Each structure stands twice: as C-alpha cells, then as structure tokens.
Amino acid sequence: MAEKKRLFFAVVPDNTTRLLLAAHLNQYLPEGLPGKTIPAGNWHVTLRFLGSVASIDSDRVIYEASRRLGGDSFPVKLGGLGAFPHSSRAVVLWVGFAVGKEKMEILASQCEDAATAIGLAAEERPFHPHLTLARIRPPRDVRRIIEVVPSVALPFKVAEARLYESYLGCDGTRYTVIERFPL
C-alpha cells in the first residue's frame, strides 16, 4: 500500500508579524484565548487542504502547482477577529484580513486548480482567508472577545505559497515544508 501524506497549501506570515500579533492579543486578552490555542509558530493561512494524498500524487500536485501558482508578490494586512461558524457559538477563533483578500482568493483558486488537476474533489466551502488562533470545544460565545480586541492592522508581504505535510500527535501538530512556490 502506498504511503500517504496529509498535505495542504498555505501562506505563512513572517516571524515579526506573528510576534506582533501575539503581543497584540496578549495586550487585550491577558488571560489568553479560549479553547486550544494554536502556537504562533504554526499560524498560517490554509489556501487548500488536500487531505491524505499518496506519495505519487504528492509529486503530481507539486508539478501541477508549479504550473499554476504564479503572479507577483503582494501586500496584505491583518484585520479583526472573527469566528466560525459564528461568534455566538464559535468552534474556531481567527484573525482575518483587512487588505489583500482578493489576491489571496486568486492564490487559493490556483491551489484548487492544482488539487482538482490530480483528481481530488473540488472544495465545496468558499475560501475565507484567515489565521486560526484557537479551536474551541465545546462551542463558546466569543462575541465579547471579538469586541474587546481591536483590529490589528499588521501588514506583511505574500511572496510565496508553500505545500506542507502535517503530522498529528499527542504533543500537537507539526508541519514540514514539502515545496515552496515563489510568486
């Protein structure tokens, strides 16, 4: 049986942006975020989750992505907090984007094209660029948290997309970069 890898395409903010975002959150939420917090070193924007992919298919997705991912690097700016599915019963707390959403959508669409080119089913959910900050189980009302934390307005430059392999473990999730796709 072929080895499978758990893969996803992502954009990662630079370390300075992650540190400044963490400081911003700590300033307004000194007691911390609700739920299981995602370590700042793991913050990323998932452009397309591929799931478990056979090794041969991971080579194909790299090929297809290298043909499709392109364009120029672009500026983005983080914005305010939000929640999925909604703030009164949140299971995910995230920070969104005030600038650059349209360019992120184009990049996500290119990743989607690479995924479907190797035969993966099309993503049914609409793309919403965000950095997941915490996963909340059971669901919780986070409206007050969203009101308390002002928009962060942190800019950074998106200069590449990455293909990651993720490893789930009892000590948390680890990510390894499989391929970089410069813009």
pLDDT tens per residue across span 19-36: 999 999 999 999 999 999
Predicted pLDDT at 4: 86
Task: State the DSSP code for 170.
Answer: T
Question: What are the tens digits of pLDDT across the range 54-87?
Answer: 877 889 999 999 999 988 999 999 999 999 999 9
Structure tokens, 80: 């305010």
When pLDDT is averaged across residues 1-10 and rounded to a whole number, the result is: 84
User: pLDDT per residue over 108-145, tens digit each?
Assistant: 999 999 999 999 999 999 999 999 999 999 999 999 99
**Residue 29 CB contacts under 8 Å (≥ 6 apart), including other chains:** 145, 148, 149
What pLDDT, on the 0 to 100 scale, is given for residue 53? 87
27 bridge partner residues:
none
Closest CA to 126 of 97, 149, 105: 105
Beta-sheet pairing, 90-99 with 172-182: unpaired
Cβ-based neighbours of 15, under 8 Å, separated by 6 or more: none
Q: What are 7's strand-pairing partners?
A: 51, 165
Confidence of residue 1 (pLDDT cuts 50, 70, 90): low
> Distance of alpha carbon 97 from its chain centroid, rounded?
12
**pTM for the full predicted model:** 0.92
Q: What is the C-alpha separation between 147 and 33, in angstroms, rounded?
A: 14
* Dist CA 73 CA 77 (whole Å): 14
The pLDDT, as a whole number, for residue 62 is 95
Which is it for the CA torsion 25, 31, 37, 42, positive or negative? positive
Best CA proximity match to 28, nearest among 153, 152, 149, 151: 149
- As given in the structure block, the two tokens for residue 26 are 């700590």
Extract the tokens encoding 55: 């090794």
Domains of the chain: 4-182 (3.90.1140.10)
